[in-house]
Structure 1
Amino acid sequence: MALAFDDFGRPFIIIKEQEQKTRLRGLDAHKSNISAAKAVAHILRTSLGPKGMDKMMQSPDGDVTITNDGATILEQMDVDNQIAKLMVELSRSQDYEIGDGTTGVVVMAGALLEQAERLLERGIHPIRVAEGYEMASRIAVEHLERIAHKFEFSVTNIEPLVQTCMTTLSSKIVNRCKRSLAEIAVKAVMAVADLERKDVNLDLIKVEGKVGGKLEDTELIYGILVDKDMSHPQMPKQIEDAKIAILTCPFEPPKPKTKHKVDIDTVEKFQTLRQQEQKYFDDMVQQCKDVGATLVICQWGFDDEANHLLMNRNLPAVRWVGGVELELIAIATGGRIVPRFQELTSEKLGKAGLVREKSFGTTKDRMLYIEHCANSRAVTIFIRGGNKMMIEETQSEAYMMHYVWLGISFATILSSMVAARLKFLLAHLLLRPLLMDIQELNRYDGVDYNYAIRAFADSLDSVPMALAENSGLQPIETLSAVKSQQLKENNPCCGIDCNDIGTNDMREQNVFETLIGKKQQILLATQVVKMILKIDDVISPSDY
């Protein structure tokens, strides 16, 4: 390495090995890309399943996160390789679309690429492999449609949805409370779902957390929860049949927009100015009282004089409420956000059956509950925990549940189709009885396609194999026994008994997965693998 200077005297470094560095192309580039993707898949492989191992991640600031959720792990990993970033985006897409299967989809994609690498070494063209994978994925999706079971549910019978949601929480940190959290999830979705239109507005669901209490104290509130309290300690703590004025204008005199100044050199002038300011406060409070408001929620703060005046006029108020919370309150109560006092009318007031301030134990923490709103479909999940780390982790799982509701409850509401949790034995269940049939393979012209379809079937063994390994079982022996049982009983719901319950029938274990979730997992993994197989050169800015 040597130091040189340009025409302007700026130093730059000359690396001696620079001429020896070459860019990978062709088969070498394919192997390099596959190796990077496999590295990400191997990291998540041990976290798959209900007994998967946890990962400890430390941020640059020193914050520590312990989780086994695939989406959380990949989101916090510092990934520089471009192909590895595609795997991160794959998990993120699965999380966004469905909310579950974020680890399984990466493990499946890594197994597909591992099998593809063997085909490439045999001289099969990457395009042939990619097209063969596409054919195999279509066969798998068609087979999923045939073996899916239909579960009927209604507003009064939500048990099938609860069982499905419990499955998604089996491998999470919150699994000890999975029954109660699953019920909260389903009830929240049913509260915001329009079954006649078959539509779910998940924006009406809010997730809030507070340190203190136990995870079992997590509750579902049919209304809005605001992490604020009344602006004055002597204001009433409970208001029934509240009419709420939602304001984005502050309780303070208007500030002059000019550069002029007011000189106050006598007591009379000061008294005049004070009376004028008090008149502004009186007018603002009186305008709220005239339209019939019994509670004021303001985005901005107000000083002690306005606060004292509000208390004397018996008008409770809440200040410093965020804009997002104001929107949720407006949606829930049916009110309108008012930017100026002159525009405040009785028609713009929100209505709530009960507004109460709740304190937690001996701490000073207090929160505001807005319940029995005009739009009763708005709900809030209030998470409790012993420390901040537990709250944040549970909140991340709750946001995961937010998308699980989309993938499970929303899809089930639309189609009522729930497939048994096929990832416990996806390979033999989906493709082996079908793809290993010579007549089936003869449907496709070309030996290359046949090899690719067989490789697709073989790669699906990685998911049940990883589940058996992570559960402390003998992987090959366990997988062979379950395959034998499936052929003997002709039961498409056989899987790996990860929890040592004593049966391999996933229906008896109440282990379910939505049809749309599993289809999305197969299709996303196949599409990303096709994309990686078609990349034969990576060009960086230094190559220009």
Structure 2
Amino acid sequence: MAGQMQYGGQAPNGQPIYILGEGSQRTKGRDAQSNNIMAGKAVANAVRSTLGPIGMDKMLVDSMGDVVITNDGATILKEMDIEHPAAKMIVEVAKTQDDEVGDGTTSATVIAGELLKKAEELLDDGVHPTIIASGYRNAADKAAEYINEIAVDVSPDDTETLKKIASTAITGKGGEEYKDTLAQLSVDAVKAVSEKTESGTSVDTDEIKIEKHAGGSMRDSELINGVVIDKERLHTNMPKKVENAKVLLLSAPIEFQKTEMDAEIKITSPDQMQQFLDQEEKMIKDMVDKIINSGADVVFCQKGIDDMAQHYLQKEGIFALRRVKQSDMDRLAKATGANIVQDVDEISESDLGSAGNVEEKDVSGTKMTYVTDCESQKSVSVILHGGTEHVVDSLEIALNDALRVVGVAVEDGKVVVGGGASEVELAMKLYNYAASLEGREQLAAHKFAEALDIIPQTLAENAGLDAIDKLVELRSQHEKGNKYAGLDVRNGEIVNMWEDDVIEPLRIKTQAINAATEAAVMILRIDDVVATSEKSGGGEEAAMGGGMGGMPMGM
């Protein structure tokens, strides 16, 4: 509906009132709901085939020709160029899941898409969106209550269970054949940065730095208690190793400062030129002297270090790096206890930190600096090796997920089983809850329970099994009281997931259900979409899902 649009009726004289400009589009009522639901379902379908340990992978090629091969839901949706506004809301579900937990992004997206699909069935039956939204919210609250009942407590010191949680997150991703090594690395790293607090245990996984290196085997990967910086010392005459180092962190450059305004210096004789150069050298020397006088024997500079300054530093036997990243500077500050100094003139001995060892090492042909044996061991680094760049990238995605889920499990102290077992148990309890309701909200709660069945159903489909048969088998086991019964997709059997070591943090389930419900409800409550544009044409049609014959997204 391009061009000026009537939006609000007619004036008393019978003339239509136009309040939207040229090129605006409006979709309302059932059409708006259908378009939005279709867009949400399309996003869910785009990642659905990747769910589970033997789900398929996606190859994503960007405009520069760079290739990413992954089955991680968050990575897939981040790389895809999605345009439809309602589809973007479903993408936010995956992003929030990734930010909060680090895993379960595909599950959250698939549940959101299925909630929209079930809501569409209710809309077709004449149920009002407000009733559906209310029923969904009540069911989500009950689901959170029920899943807490089936959760199992886990101790931060229970290394074996934490390794099983990490292995579950890694299974099905690029580094699955090395999952034991990755699981051990992730548990050791999380334990190294975890801190006891009044409310329990706190884990900041940002303190775990991952350095990737193509070359060697994954089994060569190692955990370093300290900070590893992907840089080499500035000068070959600088010491390769400094023990009991006094560390200076400097965010100001050690070089001649240019004036902020354009300036012209007229030199009329060679003597003046020499004086100018001597003065510049003296300024550099003074800056280096201040560093030397502070007692520092290792300098990490966030900005540049002049060649002349390098000369003076190496003469004094000082180990120096330049252009160190801000994130590395922050980690070094935490690890060594040093203050980041912003002005060379203000350097004092109290600003220095300490490290037992600062050493340049050769890692697969790349020289890197290791800062270890620090006062605080709350910063650790993982050196990740792999055969090729693509292999290392997929290993990094798997390790990141493992680190996040282990961190969440340590913080919350509660876990549940995977393999669709938790979803089937929740669905059964919600069917009973729905039967206790009166009115049309009962229908919405019942559809919510049906939507949770999409997880075991999709797991079965992606494993090449009969989804209906496996769902019936699962329900039968749960009705007998086997609340840990889930689908082993490798051999197609229903097994005890706890004994099969398929364990996930509780927050994966609660966050996925909450985020999916909120997104579905938000989309359902939209009955009018107004898109404004300076021009009429294909842009608005794409934004509004006007040509919704295919998948309403660009890739």
TM-score norm. by structure 1 comes to 0.88
- Please name the residue that 1:12 is paired with: none
Is residue 145 of structure 1 aligned with residue 148 of structure 2?
Answer: yes
Segment of structure 1 superposing worse, 278-287 or 505-514: 278-287
Q: Specify which of 412, 416, 419 is matched with residue 419 of structure 1.
A: 416
| Residue 552 of structure 2: aligned partner | none
Change (3 A) 1:279 1:435: closer
Deviation of 1:196 after TM superposition, in Å, equals: 3.7
User: 1:378 aligns to what?
Assistant: 379
Q: Which amino acid in the other structure matches residue 520 of structure 1?
A: Q
2:451 aligned residue (459, 467, 471): 459
- Note if 1:49 corresponds to 2:52: yes
Deviation track 1:53-93 (CA, whole Å, cap 9, x = no partner) reads 00111111111211100000111111111111111111111
Quote how far apart the aligned CAs of 1:500 are.
2.4
The answer for the alignment partner of 2:265 in structure 1 is 261
The verdict on how the C-alpha distance between 1:28 and 1:339 changes in structure 2, with shifts beyond 3 A counting, is: closer
Work out whether 1:216 is the aligned partner of 2:219: yes
CA distance in 1, matches of 2:312, 2:255: 12
Among 496, 499, 504, the residue aligned to 1:505: 496
| 1:247-302: CA deviation from partner (whole Å, max 9, x where unpaired) | 22333344456725151523x44444444344334333332222211112222333
SS in 2 for 1:195: strand
1:531 to 522, 533, 537: 522
**Counterpart-to-counterpart distance in 2, 1:257 and 1:510:** 63
1:379 Cα deviation after fit: 1.1
2:111 is aligned, of 108, 111, 131, to 108
Classify the secondary structure of the residue corresponding to 1:431: helix
Whole-angstrom CA distance in 1 between matches of 2:264 and 2:224 = 51
SS at 1:495's partner residue? strand
Residue in structure 2 matching 1:521, options 493, 496, 512:
512
Give, in whole Å, the separation in 2 of the partners of 1:519 and 1:341.
50
| SS state at 2:236 partner | coil
Please report how far the alpha carbon of residue 503 of structure 1 lies from its aligned counterpart in structure 2 after TM superposition: 5.6
Residues 426 and 463 in structure 1, CA contact (< 8 A), matched pair in contact too: no
Choose 496-505 or 110-119, whichever is displaced more: 496-505
Q: Deviations over 1:315-355 (max 9, x none)?
A: 22212222332222122111111222221111111110101
CA distance, structure 2, for counterparts of residue 341 and residue 45 of structure 1: 56
Residues matched between the structures, number: 511
Pair 1:442–1:327, CA change in 2 (3 A): closer
Counterpart CA distance in 1 for 2:248 and 2:123 is 67
Find the counterpart in structure 2 of residue 495 from structure 1.
486
1:15 maps to which residue? none
The worse-fitting range, judged by mean Cα deviation, of 84-93 and 161-170 is 161-170
CA contact (8 A) 1:186 1:409 kept: no
1:24-63 matches, within 5 Å, as 24-63=27-66
Q: 1:35 to 1:274 in 2, by over 3 A?
A: closer
Residue in structure 2 matching 1:345, options 344, 348, 370: 348
Instruction: Please give the alpha-carbon distance, in whole angstroms, between the structure 2 residues aligned to 1:419 and 1:400.
Output: 17
Q: Report the Cα distance in structure 2 between the residues aligned to 1:100 and 1:541, rounded to whole angstroms.
A: 37
Q: Which residue of structure 2 aligns with residue 334 of structure 1?
A: 337
Shift of 1:506: 0.2
Matches within 5 A, 1:216-365: 216-255=219-258, 259-263=263-267, 265-266=269-270, 268-361=271-364, 363=365, 365=366
Bigger CA drift: 243-252 or 527-536?
A: 243-252
Q: Check the 8 A contact 1:229/1:368 in 2, yes or no.
A: yes
Question: 1:20-99 alignment to 2 at 5 Å?
Answer: 23-99=26-102
**Residue deviations 1:81-115 (CA, integer Å, cap 9, x gap):** 11111111111111111111100011111111111
Q: Which amino acid aligns with 1:263?
A: I
Q: What root-mean-square deviation, in Å, do the aligned CA atoms of Structure 1 and Structure 2 show?
A: 2.5
The match for 2:424 among 404, 423, 428 is 428
One-letter amino acid of the counterpart of residue 112, structure 1: L
Measure the CA separation in 2 of the matches of 1:55 and 1:127: 37
Equivalent of residue 531 in structure 2, options 531, 534, 540? 540
Change (3 A) 1:427 1:326: closer
What is the distance in 1 between the residues matched to 2:25 and 2:305? 66
Runs of 5+ unmatched residues, structure 2: 1-21, 541-555
Q: CA 1:465–1:442 in 2, change beyond 3 Å: closer, same or farther?
A: closer
Q: 1:442 to 1:392 in 2, by over 3 A?
A: closer
**Which one-letter code corresponds to 1:89 in the other structure?**
E
Are the equivalent residues in 2 in contact too, given 1:165–1:408 (CA < 8 A)?
no
Taking structure 1 as reference, are residues 237 and 534 closer, same or farther at Cα in structure 2, changes over 3 Å only? same
SS at match of 2:496: coil
Q: Comparing 245-254 with 454-463, which one deviates more in the overlay?
A: 245-254
Q: Which residue of 2 aligns with 1:7?
A: none
Task: Answer whether contact 2:239 2:318 (CA < 8 A) is retained.
Answer: no
Distance in 1 of aligned mates of 2:241 and 2:308: 23
Identity within the alignment, %: 37
Q: Is the 8 A contact 1:148 1:417 kept in 2?
A: yes
What is the CA-CA distance between 1:402 and the residue it aligns to?
4.9
Higher strand share: 2
The answer on whether the counterparts of 1:37 and 1:84 sit within 8 Å (CA) in structure 2 is yes
What does the per-residue CA deviation read over 1:388-418, in whole Å, with 9 as the maximum and x for residues that have no partner?
333333334444445434433332xxxx221
Q: List per-residue Cα deviations over 1:102-156 (Å, max 9, x = no partner).
A: 00011111111111111111111111111111222222222112111223342xx
Q: Quick one: distance in 1 between partners of 2:360 and 2:61?
A: 38
Q: Which amino acid aligns with 2:329?
A: L
1:165 CA drift (Å) = 1.8
Report SS of the residue matched to 2:485: coil
